[in-house]
Structure 1
Amino acid sequence: MGRAIVNTAYKNDDITIVGGIAPVGRSYIGTDLGILCGIGKEINAKTYGDISEVIHQSDVIVDCTMPDVTMSILEKCLEYNKRLITGTTGFKANELLKIKEAGKSIPLLLVEIFIY
């Protein structure tokens, strides 16, 4: 899903991609997203192993991961006062309550079916 998001966002002149997040230890951390996602050229947006390395450059975080990762991203969005769009599914009831509560502090969109 990440590649599809990058490729779609890249085609939109109103969107600037500042980076992507990968699980810690992945060999492609540091790789430009344009190369990683098949755009065929560097787009000046690399892959990071920690959202804290790039969140300050972002206006909106787009997330399609797993519930535990999304909850961690949500905490960073609250800390840095950033907007969050997430297409993650499979949340537990207590996680959904935390997401709903976070929506009172930051703009937040939970899309339970994210189809590309």
Structure 2
Amino acid sequence: MRRSLLKFLIVFLVSITLVTLYFIFLFKDLADTITPKIIFKVIKQFALIVSIPASLLFLLLDIPMEKIKNLWLLLITRCVVLFILLYMVSGAFSFYLIANSLFDNPFIE
């Protein structure tokens, strides 16, 4: 149980970091400067929404992947699955993200 929770937290933090960096890179031209306030707003509005489902799905898919004995193959498989899940969840929430950014853009004060 602790191992699963640790995996969930690691994947959750990596997902939040990747999604936050993606949105900051995407919208950096709209802001004069990137401040910690903007970063926390991006995390709250976008990264949490994408990271929670992706982390839960990764945890569910990781259970059958534990049967892979080769450590490198297991690591590569987990990375590929994580990026695919992030892509799929981002696509599923793209309408929400676009609509939310149009009404409340975190990069514009």
Give the TM-score range, shorter chain: under 0.3
> Normalized per residue, which structure has more strand?
1
The structure, 1 or 2, with the larger RCO (C-alpha pairs under 8 Å, 6+ apart) is 2
TM-score, normalised with respect to structure 2: 0.23
TM-score, normalised with respect to structure 1: 0.22
Q: Which has the larger radius of gyration?
A: 2
